[in-house]
Amino acid sequence: MPAIKNVNVSHPFSDQKPGTSGLRKSTKKFLEKHYLEIFIESILSSLDNVEGSTIIVGGDGRYGNDNAIKKIVQICSAHKVGTIIVPTRGLLSTPAASNLIRDYSAIGGIILSASHNPGGLEGDFGVKLNVSNGGPAPEFVTEKIYTYSQSLTSYKLIDVEIPNLKDEGSFTIHQTKLEIIDGVQSYVSLMEDIFDFDQIGDFLKNDFSIVFDAMNAVTGPYAKRIFVDRIGLSDQCLLNSEPMPDFGNLHPDPNLTYANKLADLLLNKKLYSFGAACDGDGDRNMILGKGCFVNPSDSLAVITANTGLVPGYKKGISGVARSMPTSMAVDVVAKELDIPCYETPTGWKFFGNLLDSGKITICGEESFGTGSNHVREKDGLWAVLFWLQILAQKKCSVTDLMQNHWLHFGRNYYTRHDYESIPSEVAHQIYQDLENQLQKLNGAHFASSVITQADNYSYVDPIDKSLSDKQGLRLVLDNGSRIILRLSGTGTKGSTLRLYFERPSKSQNDLFLDPQIALKDLIIGIDHLLNIKQLTKMNIPTVIT
């Protein structure tokens, strides 16, 4: 039997503090000697009852995925983990990982992904821990991991060759069982429990053309299994469906900037009735119709309004939640449905307690993430199937569905402006400039209106009463408009400044404007207030959604 090997490190790593979605760094940083291993050792040291437990391990297929999985298996074996579940090829979407954690009653899952960040040797890599409920590790766990990483100067592993991950099989390593499984089927079976694939298939085969862009990331095999193998469509409905270590040089972020070829097919050329895309690890989604882009905030509202059309939710939903920067369109729907609507900070982990307690069924964020209580992660393919089920039931186009929704509920004009990879000092200066003005902005005139609330958002969890403060700067106007400013924690180069603009409209003569036009006075007003163009030296944001 191979012996446990202790590996000494010359010094601790001081920069392994997980963000809202785990630890994300450049690929080259993770390739530094001992860097990955110390972080994995920190994760396992922070978990209770590791010995004899079950752990799920997989990733989105980006550069370094296989080698990282094999190293993690070696370290887990040294910690006497009972069973390690790894999907074939090491490919595992984040929502599918959440499902497997719950299916196998695992104590957690180690997910290798930097989500929507670019891949390849010159791109990014990431490691995220999901806990036993299938959701992202809460802050007290990630703080514990960080504390360990700051003092660790050694880790242990079983230095043996790990089997090739290509084929299914069962292996024994020291006292640990390694199970290499079909990582797709369990997720597909879960989707079949929720949706009526036969109805969706009949609709799609009746002159309703679709195209799905997997962006050379992890959802390609899942989409092929669902749309081609199960529903029976031609594989011509799939774009970029083969996972690649560098995502084929694509930026796997499903928005109008980075999925521009898909957007061109739907919005300009109008070649398909429906289009969708998912990001690197499969938890984000973008929905498009012929000539119609669906804002993620509107998508959450439409899904909530139509849950009764989906077999898995016919018994009703208990409530809905959105992140604070997400538009309040879903609030209007929740009011009509007479269900609670919760507002949380950005970060999927904040939905976990609400889902586990049964207070909500549906939840979503403006950053192209939507989900429900079927797992504890946002789920891109689930959202795509939800839309297709609604359209199959209503037998209408995406444009008709959106317009009818606005005519009934009103429209919350909404946009997000991202200034990516700007110097950190500039981003923090802009943020600090607004924070310093909050007190005097209360009651001030702004964009032909009056600011009635100017604050830094704080959240008290209704379940465990924990406080999360400093979650984003807010300006709320007396006409219901909102401007929000946040610094994003998902990038690895410089800083990303995010600005969110929202204005509600209920007039049926004012429901079909371009959001950039409808929100123009708010956009101009905040630029004048904070000198954003001048300080960033950018005339337009990097990404507008």
Place of tokens 């190293």: 71
- Residue 139 — very low, low, confident or very high, per pLDDT cuts 50/70/90? confident
Query: Which runs of E-coded beta strand occur in 90-148?
Result: 108-112, 124-131
pLDDT tens digits, one per residue of 65-107: 999 999 999 999 999 999 999 999 999 999 999 999 999 999 9
Q: What would the pLDDT profile of 8-17 be if each residue is shown by its tens digit?
A: 999 999 999 9
Per-residue model confidence (pLDDT) at position 488: 77
Are the beta carbons of 233 and 426 closer than 8 angstroms?
Answer: no
Give the separation between CA 385 and CA 380, rounded to whole angstroms: 9
DSSP state of 19: B
Report how far residue 356's alpha carbon sits from residue 203's, in angstroms, rounded to the nearest whole number.
34
**Rounded CA separation 386/274 (Å):** 13
The upper half-sphere exposure of residue 464, i.e. CA atoms within 13 Å in the direction of its Cβ, equals 13
Residue 115 known to be catalytic = yes
Residue 493 has pLDDT above 90, yes or no: no
pLDDT at 458: 96
What single-letter DSSP state applies at residue 429? Answer: H
Which helix (H) or strand (E) element contains residue 101? helix 94-103
What pLDDT, on the 0 to 100 scale, is given for residue 543?
87
* Distance, CA of 514 to CA of 217 (rounded, Å): 31
* Average pLDDT over all residues of the chain: 95
Q: How far separated are the first and last CA of the chain, in Å rounded?
A: 56
Residue 328 has pLDDT above 70, yes or no: yes
pLDDT value of residue 494: 76
Would the pLDDT of 508 be above 80? no
Q: Which two tokens stand for residue 52?
A: 């004899």
Nearest to 419 by CA among 256, 535, 325, 519: 535
Q: How far apart are CA 361 and CA 359, in angstroms?
A: 7
Q: 30 with 82: CB under 8 angstroms?
A: no
Residue 61, CB half-sphere, CA atoms under 13 Å: how many? 29
What string of DSSP letters covers 273-302?
A: SEEEEE-TTS-BEEEEETTEEE-HHHHHHH
Burial (Cβ within 10 Å: 0-12, 13-18, ≥19) of residue 29: middle
According to DSSP, the β-strands at 543-544 and 23-26 are unpaired
Strands (E), 138-248: 154-158, 169-173, 176-181, 210-213, 238-239
Q: Can you tell me the distance from the alpha carbon of 320 to that of 361, in angstroms, rounded to the nearest whole number? A: 6
Where residue 464 falls among pLDDT bands split at 50, 70, 90? Answer: very high
Across the range 240-260, mean pLDDT stands at 94
Please give the backbone phi and psi of residue 381, each rounded to the nearest 5 degrees, phi first: -70, -35
The pLDDT value recorded for residue 446 is 94
E strand segments, 243-351? 274-278, 285-289, 292-294, 320-323, 341-344
* Residue-level pLDDT at 490: 53
pLDDT of residue 421: 86
pLDDT in tens, 166-213: 999 999 998 999 999 999 999 999 999 999 999 999 999 998 999 999
Mean pLDDT, residues 38-45: 97
Q: Give me the amino acid identity at 112.
A: L
Full set of structural domains in the chain with CATH? 4-183 (3.40.120.10), 187-409 (3.40.120.10), 411-544 (3.30.310.50)
pLDDT, average across residues 360-364: 98
Tell me which residue has tokens 């369109």. Answer: 329
Residue 506 has pLDDT above 90, yes or no: no
Q: What are the helix and strand counts (H, E) for the chain?
A: 18, 27
Percent of the chain with pLDDT over 70: 99
Length of the chain counted residue by residue: 545
164 pLDDT band (50/70/90 cuts)?
very high
Q: How far apart are CA 517 and CA 100, in angstroms?
A: 45
Structure token pair of residue 531: 């000198």
List Cβ neighbours of 152 (8 Å cut-off, separation of 6 or more): 9, 12, 38, 41, 42, 45
160 three-state secondary structure: coil
Catalytically annotated residue among 21, 42, 113, 115:
115
Can you give the C-alpha Rg of the chain in angstroms?
A: 23
Answer whether residue 491 shows pLDDT above 60: no
Query: Is residue 127 predicted with pLDDT exceeding 60?
Result: yes
| pLDDT higher at 510 or 164 | 164
- DSSP string spanning 177-200? EEEEE-TTHHHHHHHHHHS-HHHH
Burial of 71 (0-12, 13-18, 19+ CB in 10 A): middle
In this model, does residue 293 exceed pLDDT 90? yes
* The pairing of beta strand 23-26 with beta strand 124-131: antiparallel
Cα distances (angstroms) measured from residue 146 to each of 32, 45, 471, 535: 18, 11, 21, 33
According to the model, what pLDDT value does residue 285 have?
97
**Residue recorded with tokens 């393919």:** 381
Q: How many CA atoms lie within 13 A of 309 on its CB side?
A: 18
* Token pair recorded at residue 294: 């669906």
Burial class (CB in 10 A: 0-12, 13-18, 19+), 151: exposed
Asked whether 461 and 469 are in contact (CB, 8 A), the reply is: no
Name the one residue in this structure whose structure tokens are 């538009």. 327
